[in-house]
Amino acid sequence: MIATKTVALQDQLMKRDLPDLRCNSGLEFSFALAKGRRRYLCPQRLRMKLSEWGREPLFRMDRNFETCQEMDRKFSGQQWTGDLDEWPDDVSPIRSLVTTDHAGCIGPDCEFRRCCPYFSARREVSDVNLIVANYSLLLTDLRHEAGVFPEWEDSLVILDEAHNIPDVARQTFRHSVSLDLLSKWPSSCAKWFSGAPENHGLTIDLASEVIRTLQEGQEAVQASLGSLQSQLPALSFKGSSTDDQPHLHLFEVGIDLTGISEPADTLCDHYSAVAGKAQAAFESLSKQIERAEEVDFSVAKWIGELRILTEQARDIAQGVRPFRGGQRVVPWALWVESMELGRRDAVLHSVLLDVGSLLKERLWDQCGGAVCTSATLYAHDGFSFFKRTVGIPASSPELRIESPFDFENNVQLQVPTMKSRPGDLEYVEELTEILPTLLKREPTTLVLFTARRMMLDVWDRLPRHMRDRCLVQGHLSMDALRAKHRQRVGDNQPSCIFGLSTMGEGIDMPGDQCRHVVIVRLPFAPPDDPIFKSREQLLELQTGQRGRGFMKLSVPEATLRLKQACGRLVRRKEDTGIITILDRRIVDKFYGAGMLDALPPYRQVIES
């Protein structure tokens, strides 16, 4: 298995690297791309949504309704496989409406099982020698034991761009629980269970057991929920009241959660018990259906929904468990999010900070072998920092290979004079003024932004003739964007791509496809990111030194991302071009010299 972070890297492996390897190595092997359910159409969800919209005349005029109708026509007519990455337009507005996840999928009981795009792809994956996947799918499979991949002990896992593993693991194993939904969940769940199919006695009996478990201790559960909600006004939320961003309260790593841990204990125990009963009911019914000659559709549908409720109860228990305390033993990033201050509604978030032990248990100890590779794993202490972070034994073999590229003669890195700095009100305006000149220097340019809002704002302010030259990430699917860019290059037309951080690594545009990389802003993590702030607090606890987080975490990780972004320019020995950094902090700030020194030996032109 080869795992990567980005769609661009998977695309490169599937369409170029692996075919080249098979053609020129003399090796005979088969390969396929494994993707998660959210990357494929769910025909059942699509039909349900179309039926729902069809009953409302107002919805029938919606553009999303037209898109869904077109998807239904092309999928039913076998003109489209149901792979959303192959749909020509951006599907982000409707992705959640026409896809499902592992909990929402009713599996073998679905009427579309035989033509399901996801399971068709799964069957292909099960028969090949080599599987390409992304980190998110790989780790999600490990978390839920979903069985997407073959037996782990028989597999060799190659992790490309492996410096991304810790962040992806933290995001995969994070939990979120809404207190508002939590207060409504028991009654809606009991109502649903009371609607068990009456023509199947076992469903009634099992539903009654789950309802009984739901009702037991409900008084204590409601009291605990009320206790949690009563704590909200006392928390110090941070956030602006003038925008649509949520207000956050971040709990300091290592402190006792007085007033929080006690009700969290009660909620965790209760919903763990509910999940256990629901799981037992699901397994019992599933076994009975396997033995049945004919399955009533209402029962099959009910079992599929039972699986969803089982996952919901389990997710609630896992989501409140970190708030029980024990921070000093197992460090978590814990915060509360509320869209409006003064309301009793809020969302509890938890992210495991030390992912090394988790990866060791779920990945390294399970697979037959693993290779971690990246151009940016090596640091001042060799590979030690990476090994400690991801839980790899210090004695594991390691290899560093020098770059074959002549950076000094082939690449010029320039930092032009700028009047403003990131964060200044004038910064976007100055970017708009300087970019047209920069885009004319080379026929092909990749401009990398750290925020979508800034990217769209700058693009919108450009002169019309410059906007026509630019392809913007999100305006087209990634496949369509890159295809249009290649077509322009092949037709000797100027072409520029405006992209975000996902295009700052892995994407391969050799030769004339990219002669100029413009880095708008140094890629520091957002200063108010709760996960990053918690990691800084954990580091200070471990070292006993306050204020060390910026130089020990912020700067090294921003440097790593900067190296990745610069690496988009030179992809072959003969490649040449320019890298422009529009963030003067790399010259003005005390940490800037270290970041420049960490880059390959480019020919530097630093304007005063």
The residue written with tokens 């092949």 in the block is: 490
- Residue range 498-552, pLDDT digits in tens: 999 889 886 889 999 999 999 999 999 887 889 999 988 888 888 888 877 888 8
- Residue range 127-158, pLDDT digits in tens: 899 999 988 888 888 776 656 676 778 889 99
- The reported pLDDT for the residue numbered 297 is 57
**Minimal CA–CA distance to 179: which of 319, 331, 341?**
319
What's the chain's Rg over C-alpha atoms?
A: 26
Buried b (16+ CB within 10 A) or exposed e, 288-303: ebeeeeeeeeebbebb
The share of the chain scoring above pLDDT 70, in percent, equals 88
- The reported pLDDT for the residue numbered 180 is 84
Higher pLDDT residue, 145 or 124? 124
Q: 435: Cβ–Cβ under 8 A, 6 or more apart, which residues?
A: 447, 458, 462, 466, 518
The residue written with tokens 């990217």 in the block is: 455
Q: How far apart are CA 417 and CA 438, in angstroms?
A: 13
Q: What is the DSSP string of 3-16?
A: EESSHHHHHHIIII
- Max mean pLDDT among 245-259, 427-441, 493-507 falls in 427-441
DSSP three-state, residue 587: helix
The pLDDT of residue 281 is above 90? no
437, with CB counted inside 10 A (0-12, 13-18, 19+), is: exposed
- The residue type found at 400 is R
Q: What is the DSSP string of 363-419?
A: IITTSSEEEEE-TT--BTTBTHHHHHHHT--TTS----------HHHHEEEEE---S
Positive or negative CA dihedral for 474, 476, 477, 480?
A: negative
Q: Which two tokens stand for residue 371?
A: 């290779």
Residue ranges of E strands in 151-210: 156-160, 174-178
**Minimal CA–CA distance to 558: which of 604, 526, 531?**
526
- The residue type found at 247 is H
Strands 369-373, 156-160: pairing is parallel
- Residue 347, H or E segment: strand 347-352
Residue ranges of E strands in 84-242: 130-134, 156-160, 174-178
Q: 20: Cβ–Cβ under 8 A, 6 or more apart, which residues?
A: none
- Residue range 19-49, pLDDT digits in tens: 999 999 999 999 999 888 888 999 988 888 8
The pLDDT of residue 265 is above 70? yes
- The reported pLDDT for the residue numbered 108 is 67
Integer CA distances (angstroms), 539 to 172, 174, 353, 557, in order: 22, 20, 11, 14
CB-CB contact of 371 with 156 (8 Å): yes
**Model confidence, pTM:** 0.78
The pLDDT of residue 294 is above 70? no
- The reported pLDDT for the residue numbered 242 is 47
CB-CB contact of 233 with 342 (8 Å): yes
CB-CB contact of 159 with 169 (8 Å): no
> Once rounded to an integer, what is the mean pLDDT over residues 330-355?
82
**Minimal CA–CA distance to 183: which of 285, 271, 257, 59?**
271
φ and ψ at 90, to 5 degrees?
Answer: -65, 125
133, β-bridge pairs: 3
Higher pLDDT residue, 177 or 291? 177
